[in-house]
Amino acid sequence: MERLRIEAERIAELIGAREAELLRLDTARQVVGELPAAHVVATSNGGVPAQRPGPWTAGAVTARAAKTEEFTAKVRHVVEAFAVNDGTAVRCKDVVEALGEEVVPRRVEKVRHHLKRLVVAGALAEVGPGLFTPAGGAAVARE
């Protein structure tokens, strides 16, 4: 008899915990239901929201990847042109300037990021802190 009483108490505790969880979920559902539905587009397929165009849709990601590849190719071309012309390694600021961009920290860091990616890919080598040259090239660091 005692064992059944203990089991009944345990079940009552479980029921109380589940009721509290259901109450919390019901409150959350009500709050979400009150949010503005500005992002939901009315459709003829029963009100299923349409996907909003955003920066992570398939087309946007593909376009961004193509732009990145194109920019990386330009950066590599500039580094190779510098290194071949005078045999010295190229600083990031020189690449930014050669690309015709404004030499500001934001642009310099963007180009530095691409240069570092090219180093990892094996297309460029970093011969000193912030000095880049084509991989396998015999460029010297300029001071």
> What are the pLDDT digits (tens) for 39-55?
444 445 555 555 555 55
Label residue 124 exposed, middle or buried (CB < 10 Å: 0-12, 13-18, 19+).
Answer: buried
CATH number (domain holding residue 70): 1.10.10.10
Tell me if 10 is assigned to some domain.
Answer: no
pLDDT at residue 142 is higher than 50: no
For residue 131, what pLDDT is reported?
86
Tell me if 26 is assigned to some domain.
Answer: no
Tell me if 62 is assigned to some domain.
Answer: yes
Tell me if 47 is assigned to some domain.
Answer: no
> What are the pLDDT digits (tens) for 111-138?
888 888 888 888 788 888 888 888 776 5
pTM for this one? 0.46
Give the residue numbers spanning the domain of 90. Answer: 58-134
Q: How many domains does the chain have?
A: 1
Tell me if 43 is assigned to some domain.
Answer: no
Could you give the CA distance from residue 127 to residue 142 in angstroms, rounded to a whole number?
10
Tell me if 86 is assigned to some domain.
Answer: yes
